[in-house]
Amino acid sequence: MKILDFLKLLNDYVGFITLLVGSVAIWTYNKQKQDVKRKAAKLILQEIRYAEQIIRNARTQASGNYSLSDKLLPTNSWHENIDLFVKDLKESHIDLISRFFSQAQYLDVIIRSISDKKCQKEIPLFEIQPIPNQQVQQQPATGAFPIQTQPQSIPQPQIYPLEIPTESLANRILKDVTNKIELIYNTPAVEKLIKISEEKWYQLF
């Protein structure tokens, strides 16, 4: 009897139960989505801090050089997750952060280029070895004396230097971009990312 009463109760409140289950499912989905956004914001902030620290160090050095082992952006979470922040950031803020990441990536390309050129300088010249002179004998007809031809003319060995591009242009570009790149960590755009990264789950809805 109790089972029948319970089933009758469920039938009476089927609409409410459906609404409750649907609400829980929507809440769970939104919470997971916001967790992803919060974690992405934290990663982006870490990448900005790390890149700016390397840039500041280069600016303070008289030579303005980077360590060739440096990579400003080992990862790029901004370009992978920019769609998560379209509703939270102004267009000008999105443009500012995107420009910073693009310039930092370009610095990485220049640093890699200089590193490659330095490695090329360590490769020695290579030499083409000549083929040894050989006398060629023609096989005469039966009963005739062997006919000996003159040695074939073999080109003299030549040295071919590897083409090594100059580093001066890459260094000039590197210093120019380093001095012009805008540091953004203390801007309103990044402050908004900081706020997102610190929000509690009950503040996200």
pLDDT digit string (tens) for 58-107?
888 766 678 877 889 999 999 999 999 999 999 999 999 999 999 999 99
Give the pLDDT band (50/70/90) at residue 25: low
**Is the residue at 40 inside a domain?**
yes
Where do runs of H (alpha helix) occur along the chain? 2-12, 14-60, 77-81, 91-121, 168-180, 188-198
Number of structural domains in the chain: 1
Q: How far apart are CA 156 and CA 78, in angstroms?
A: 58
Q: Give the number of other Cβ atoms within 10 Å of residue 79's Cβ.
A: 14
**Is the residue at 153 inside a domain?**
no
Q: How far apart are CA 35 and CA 37, in angstroms?
A: 5
**Is the residue at 12 inside a domain?**
yes
Q: How far apart are CA 141 and CA 28, in angstroms?
A: 98
Task: Work out whether strand 126-127 and strand 137-138 pair parallel, antiparallel, or are unpaired.
Answer: unpaired
**Is the residue at 48 inside a domain?**
yes
**In the structure encoding, which two tokens stand for residue 165, read together?**
């591009």
Buried b (16+ CB within 10 A) or exposed e, 106-125: ebbebbebbbeeeeeeeeee
Q: Which domain holds residue 115?
A: 2-122+164-203
Q: Is pLDDT larger for residue 159 or for residue 143? A: 143
Average pLDDT, the chain: 76
27-56 residue pLDDT tens: 555 666 788 899 999 999 999 999 999 999
Q: pTM of the predicted model, to two decimals?
A: 0.65
Please tell me the predicted confidence (pLDDT) of residue 70.
80
Which DSSP letter does residue 136 get? -
Which DSSP letter does residue 74 get? S
Please tell me the predicted confidence (pLDDT) of residue 118.
76
